[in-house]
Amino acid sequence: MNKTADSNRKIIEKALLKLMKKNAYERISITDICREAGVSRTTFYHHFSKADDVLLSAYESAHEKAFGSHSWTIDYFKSDQFITDMIRFFDVNSDLLTALRHWDLLARISYLPTEKSLFSASEEKDGILAAYPAYTMIYFWGNYFSICSMWLRNGKKETPEQMFKIIRHMNSL
């Protein structure tokens, strides 16, 4: 993807997120997004087919930046690096995740980590983990995601470093 195309995608993503801060997602039109982004409908449709695609793209980009360089293995899920990456994901992407949560849209796009986790869990050498990838994924991904969601919902009163200590302490219990 060239720089102009990538820039246009990001501008459109930011415009939708800005609109979602004050409008119900279902009431935001493609025209509204284009107006806010300062792009034509042709430009929008060159990159996306609908608003859901914009949300998914924003989430995928954020997710890839936070977790993309790691192998999705149980060793990674059990590591301090995963805890740090999860906290950073929520810290850096607060606006996106808050908008998705506010409009009950997180479930629409949450399949991205699910697919990666399910595939990696099914590839594990441990027979139980491989036989039950959905439970494995929820066990390792869901707890941290829920804790970080609560942190975000409560206004991120704790620093990322405090969150890391809290999660590490809970893991030691």
For the segment 116-144, the average pLDDT, to the nearest whole number, is 77
As a whole number, the mean pLDDT across the chain is 86
Question: What's the CA angle centered on 84, arms 121 and 14, to 5 degrees?
Answer: 95
Report the residue count for the chain: 173
Tens digit of pLDDT for each residue in 28-47? 999 999 999 999 999 999 99
Flag whether the pTM goes above 0.85. no
* Residue ranges of domains in the chain: 1-49, 52-172
Tens digit of pLDDT for each residue in 144-161? 888 999 999 999 999 999
What is the full DSSP assignment across 65-120? Answer: HHHTTS---HHHHTSHHHHHHHHHHHHHTHHHHHHHHHTT-HHHHTHHHHHHHHHH
Instruction: Measure the CA–CA gap between 122 and 156, rounded to whole angstroms.
Output: 34
Token pair 């087919």 in the structure block, residue: 49
**Rounded to the nearest 10 degrees, what angle do helices 143-153 and 160-172 cross at?**
140
Question: Which CATH fold topology does 1-49 show?
Answer: Arc Repressor Mutant, subunit A (1.10.10)
Taking alpha carbons only, the member of 103, 83, 104, 97 closest to residue 156 is 97
Tens digit of pLDDT for each residue in 78-100? 899 999 999 999 999 998 888 88
Q: For the range 24-32, what are the long-range contacts, defined as Cβ-Cβ under 8 Å and sequence gap of 24 or more?
A: 24/103, 25/51, 25/103, 25/105
On the question of pLDDT at 16 being above 90, the answer is: yes
Q: How many whole angstroms from its chain centre is CA 83?
A: 15
Instruction: Measure the CA–CA gap between 54 and 10, rounded to whole angstroms.
Output: 9
Sign of CA dihedral 83, 84, 86, 90: positive
Encoded tokens for 115: 């697919």
